[in-house]
Chain A
Amino acid sequence: MTVLLAATAAALFGIGTYLVLQRKLSRIIIGIALLGHGANVLMVTSGDRGRAPLIGNGPTEGLADPLPQALALTAIVISFGVTALLLALAYRSWLLTSDDEVQDDVEDRDVALHGAPDDDLDGTEGDADRERDDDGDAA
């Protein structure tokens, strides 16, 4: 049983890592969710197995360790909330760019290419400016 759970965790970690390395935001989010599940499976595996604890007044021998289950439950709730926020962000990004790809840090690229930053970029508005320029050229 433990080996099976460990293999499940390993598979979830493997697929999650592959998805997180993609450029599409939707895949990254699914990847993050899978990684989180892998970690939670690992968490549940870390305690002793046994009968359901904290129910009735029976003998305490052979009970499962309830603490990792409580911890995993908390972690699941947290990752649920954060995944919702992440989806909202990805939707916002799609609304603004009509694209699902991760955007580049234009200023970083600029510093790497030219050493000193150009004047045509205005700080934080740089990305928007440049995109507008590109559209103009294409038209």
Chain B
Amino acid sequence: MNALLSLPILLPLLGAALSILAGRSRPLQRAIGLTTLTAVAVLAVILLVEVDRNGPASTAAGGWPAPLGIALVADRFSAIMLVVAALMLLAVLVYAIGQPGAERNHVGFGSVYLILAAGVAAAFLTGDLFTLFVAIEMMLTASYVLLTLGGRLDQVRSGMTYVVISLLASVLFVTLLAVVYASTGTVNLAHLSQRIPDLPDGLRSALAVLMLVVFGIKAAIFPLFFWLPDSYPTAPSPVTAIFAGLLTKVGVYAIIRTQTLLFPASARPATLLLVLAAATMLVGVLGAIAQGDVKRVLSFQIVSHIGYMIMGLGLFSVAGLAAAVLYTVHHIVSKTALFLTGGLIEHAGGSSRMSRLGGMVRTAPVIAVLFLVPALSLVGVPPFSGFVAKFALVDAAAARSAYAVMAVSLVVSLLTLYSLMKVWIAVFWSPAREPVAEARLSQPGEPLGGPLLMVAPTAVLAAMALAIGLAAGPIYGLCQRAAQDLLHPSAYVTEVLG
């Protein structure tokens, strides 16, 4: 069983190598990508079932026992994230194959995409702060290439900002590792959780805040989010979709993991997290309202919704963390679906600018439905996944008497509805405009509004948003068990250190 743990990382890396060797044949590259990611998804589901039944599993890669070697650990939280991530990677790859355009035909796309997958899987499975650094670097380096694969001026401009900000975060990460190692003599997470409580208060707070800054840049929480809405919209839509779904969530995962596992209950920065959460939600949604481009609206909303996950963490109760986990799952699915729909809008309308679009409810009704379902889910309308996640979150906040942040979260939901309805009215309900003829990519013979391979994965993700809402009971139960593990990490620590 434990040998399975390294496969979600090794398989995509192997696939990436094969994909480079098969560089002359696009169909072969695509087959390699699809096979690898399907295998990872199946492995992830097996892992989740196994971990949910028997508790955390761990393995020491390379044969050096923890805390010296590289520990790979799966508990319920990381297994849940891995399953969702693998499904998103698979759906977006199918979409990218279906999308016409030069970039997904680039010889490097297939292999770089698989390296991104390996980095994401490694970040979720690692039990070691330094391996987390390597995993995040692997994922980010792949993302730099994917973002700038077209080599257009706007991509190079925004790519530059993105790379420089990410590199600064990496430098801070190395600094953090140096400080952690100098003060505790270990970088293994389970080992750290035993040693950090003995540190003096000041040093411990410094470590907690440094970690929050390092992962806060990756997660785009206020006030470290400026790079995100600038860089994401310039990438091709499948790339933006996978960035939106997974990259910031790796940051959120790292924040939740480190803040719950490493620090004793008395030293957790609960109030700070709640204030940051409220500011993130509010600033993100206000930014979204001001934008005039569909992809930019969606990008600002990512920032806003990261706030909800941080809010769940800041409550530091089982209900709050369960809601944060559920919210993360819901957001990955809904947001990826929305960005894929954004790509379909661009495909059928020739632009992602709201002032150039209109009347698509008649010209492309399927796209309208595919937009409305994840949009309503994001707002939190029953019976979609967002309703369950937001209800759990608000309920947890009320139980902790955190009424201020609860009020902010409700107001932000309303503003999210406003910003999405602005998009809905401009793109779908307003009178039709003459499409920009040369930019319009869809053919008259496409009743769905786009190629089947683009529409089908988007529809599957929209259906998942509905399914999470309908199967809320069992899924919330799983999230609750994951939250129990997070707040009482003794099983995790014994599994790693033996």
Contacts and interface: CB of A to CB of B under 8 A. Distances in A.
A115 B289 CA distance: 10
A25, A96, A115, most chain B CB atoms within 10 A: A96
Interface in A89-116: 89-90, 92-93, 96-97, 102-103, 105, 107-108, 111, 115-116
Interface in B205-256: 230, 233-234
B108 interface: no
B171, B179, B293, B296, most chain A CB atoms within 10 A: B171
Contacts of B177: 43, 71
Given A32-B167, A46-B178, A71-B181, A85 B145 contact: yes
A117 B292 contact: yes
Contacts of A25: 160
A86 interface: yes
Contacts of A89: 144, 148, 156, 159-160, 163
Contacts of B414: none
A53 interface: no
B141 interface: yes
A28 B160 CA distance: 10
B178 A105 contact: no
B25 interface: no
B156 A43 contact: no
B213 to A, nearest CB: 14
A38 B179 CA distance: 13
Contact of A82 (B163, B292, B295): B163
Interface string A102-134: 110101100100011101011111111000000
B292 A111 contact: yes
B351 A123 contact: yes
A16 B355 CA distance: 43
B481 to A, nearest CB: 34
A83 to B, nearest CB: 8
A92 B151 contact: yes
A15 interface: no
B156 A117 contact: no
Contacts of B137: 78, 82
A40 B178 CA distance: 8
Given A126-B154, A127-B154, A90 B171 contact: no
A91 to B, nearest CB: 10
A43 B179 CA distance: 8
A56 interface: no
A123 B352 contact: yes
A39 interface: yes
A67, A122, A125, most chain B CB atoms within 10 A: A122
B230 A43 contact: no
Interface in B397-449: 436
A38 B170 CA distance: 12
Interface size for chain B: under 10, 10 to 19, 20 to 34, or 35 or more residues? 35 or more
Nearest to B184: A46
Contact of B154 (A36, A71, A124): A124
Nearest to A88: B148
Interface in B266-297: 290-293, 295-296
A128 B47 CA distance: 48
B199 interface: no
Contacts of B68: 67
Contacts of A67: 68, 181, 187
A46 B186 CA distance: 11
Nearest to A121: B353
Interface string A64-86: 00011001001100110110011
A42 B119 CA distance: 26
Instruction: Give the top 3 A-B pairs by smallest Cβ distance, nearest first.
Output: A117-B292, A46-B182, A39-B174
30 contacts: A20-B164, A32-B171, A38-B171, A39-B171, A39-B175, A43-B177, A43-B178, A45-B178, A46-B181, A47-B181, A71-B187, A74-B130, A81-B141, A82-B163, A85-B145, A86-B160, A89-B160, A92-B148, A102-B157, A103-B160, A111-B291, A117-B291, A117-B292, A119-B356, A121-B353, A122-B436, A123-B295, A124-B233, A124-B352, A127-B153
Given A43-B174, A123-B293, A128-B154, 18 more contacts: A32-B167, A32-B168, A38-B175, A39-B174, A46-B182, A67-B187, A74-B130, A78-B170, A81-B141, A82-B141, A85-B163, A86-B160, A89-B159, A92-B156, A102-B160, A105-B157, A117-B293, A127-B157
